[in-house]
């Protein structure tokens, strides 16, 4: 699907990923950002985008945002609180997606790009390909994303939708908020420059993809993949440990803190301690990330410190 001269709706478009995608698309398209601004910033929304403020579960909001003239919906809106292991998160995320696809079906909109997550795989062998099975998520967030993917599959195969599912690695860059390891470390070191507490044993190891590469990859997949359901991992071929992230943050801040560890092999309940996605399918489609995981982390630290 060509992403030019389209009416594009981005749910959660004032958030971290959504606001960057808006900036990428707004020059060549009519972009409508839908957001309730509870976990995002109005200042992040590009001035040329149209804003629909409200909760997508409310009929008035979804009717105003998704019209028969809409060409594609990028569905990013979600409850992302990784520290909350609550069945309510599952219910809310699935209700958001139900509302979006039911409205799309009602007005004849058939293209949706969805931000899923690597956590749908659970603790899988590495590198993990898109066709790995069985999918056994270990967090409520992962379960919610898998449920949403299932609903989108139904609308693709039974109602003529074209679906693009993006299973993200850890996405980093400007506007990354607290609750992610890099801004958390920065805040801790700003408050206590001589010490840094690290959750788990510090050996947790995951792939980190810069937001610029993430947005570019999403657009490339939408423009080049056209099956009813197109599921792609978005990540790098490399990984970075939590202790290495601490080293990079400390280095960029000019500090030499003493590390302490809370212990255990993971940072919180539901955390997948080691993750590396296979990106061979994405590579076969003609796209490769420009930066390694370590480079993406360092660039993110520099950008956050400059904000």
Per CATH, the homologous superfamily of domain 7-170+208-234 is: NAD(P)-binding Rossmann-like Domain (3.40.50.720)
pLDDT (tens digit per residue) in 204-221: 999 999 999 999 999 999
Residue limits of CATH 3.90.25.10 in the chain:
177-207+239-275+292-306
For residues 249-269, average pLDDT: 93
Residues 91-95 have a mean pLDDT of 95
> Long-range contacts: 193-196, Cβ < 8 Å, 24+?
193/253, 193/255, 193/257, 194/255, 194/257, 194/258, 195/257, 195/258, 195/259, 195/260, 196/246, 196/250, 196/257, 196/258, 196/259, 196/260
Mean of pLDDT over the chain: 96
Do 156 and 162 touch, CB atoms closer than 8 A? Answer: yes
pLDDT value at position 85? 63
Q: Are strands 72-75 and 240-241 parallel, antiparallel or unpaired?
A: unpaired
Confidence of residue 258 (pLDDT cuts 50, 70, 90): very high
In the chain, ranges of CATH 3.40.50.720 domains = 7-170+208-234
Q: Quick check: 255 and 121 in contact, CB under 8 A?
A: no
Pairing of strands 30-35, 7-11: parallel
Quickly tell me which residue has 């792609």 as its tokens: 232
Query: Strands 111-117 and 30-35: what pairing?
Result: unpaired
Q: How far is CA 134 from CA 88, 109, 129, in A?
A: 24, 31, 12
pLDDT tens per residue across span 6-53: 999 999 999 999 999 999 999 999 999 999 998 899 999 999 999 999
Element (H, E) at 113: strand 111-117
User: Quick check: 80 pLDDT over 90?
Assistant: no
Please name which of 31, 24, 44, 23 lies closest in space to residue 5, comparing C-alpha atoms: 31
For residue 64, with 0-12 CB atoms within 10 Å meaning exposed, 13-18 middle and 19 or more buried, which class applies? middle
Residue 260 pLDDT more than 60?
A: yes
CATH topology of domain 177-207+239-275+292-306: UDP-galactose 4-epimerase; domain 1 (3.90.25)
């Amino acid at each position: 699907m060509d992403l030019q001269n389209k009416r594009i709706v981005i749910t959660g478009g004032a958030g971290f990923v959504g606001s960057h995608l808006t900036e990428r698309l707004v020059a060549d398209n009519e972009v409508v950002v839908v957001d309730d601004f509870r976990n995002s910033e109005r200042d992040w929304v590009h001035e040329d985008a149209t804003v629909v403020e409200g909760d997508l579960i409310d009929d008035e909001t979804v009717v105003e945002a998704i019209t028969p003239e809409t060409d594609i919906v990028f569905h990013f809106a979600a409850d992302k609180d990784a520290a909350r292991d609550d069945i309510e998160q599952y219910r809310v995320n699935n209700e958001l997606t139900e509302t979006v696809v039911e409205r799309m079906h009602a007005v004849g909109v058939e293209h949706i790009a969805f931000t899923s997550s690597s956590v749908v795989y659970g603790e899988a062998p590495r590198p993990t390909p898109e066709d790995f099975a069985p999918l056994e998520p270990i967090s409520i967030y992962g379960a919610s994303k898998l449920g949403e993917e299932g609903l989108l599959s139904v609308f693709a195969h039974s109602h003529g939708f074209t679906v693009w599912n993006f299973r993200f690695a850890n996405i980093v860059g400007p506007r990354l908020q607290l609750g992610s390891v890099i801004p958390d470390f920065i805040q801790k070191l700003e408050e206590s420059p001589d010490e840094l507490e690290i959750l788990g044993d510090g050996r947790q190891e995951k792939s980190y993809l810069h937001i610029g590469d993430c947005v570019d990859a999403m657009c490339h997949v939408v423009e080049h993949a056209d099956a009813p359901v197109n599921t792609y991992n978005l990540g790098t071929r490399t990984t970075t440990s939590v202790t290495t992230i601490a080293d990079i943050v400390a280095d960029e801040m000019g500090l030499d803190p003493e590390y302490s560890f809370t212990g255990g092999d993971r940072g919180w309940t539901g955390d997948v301690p080691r993750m590396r996605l296979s990106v061979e399918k994405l590579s076969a489609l003609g796209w490769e990330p420009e930066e390694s995981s370590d480079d993406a982390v360092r660039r993110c630290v520099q950008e956050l410190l400059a904000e």
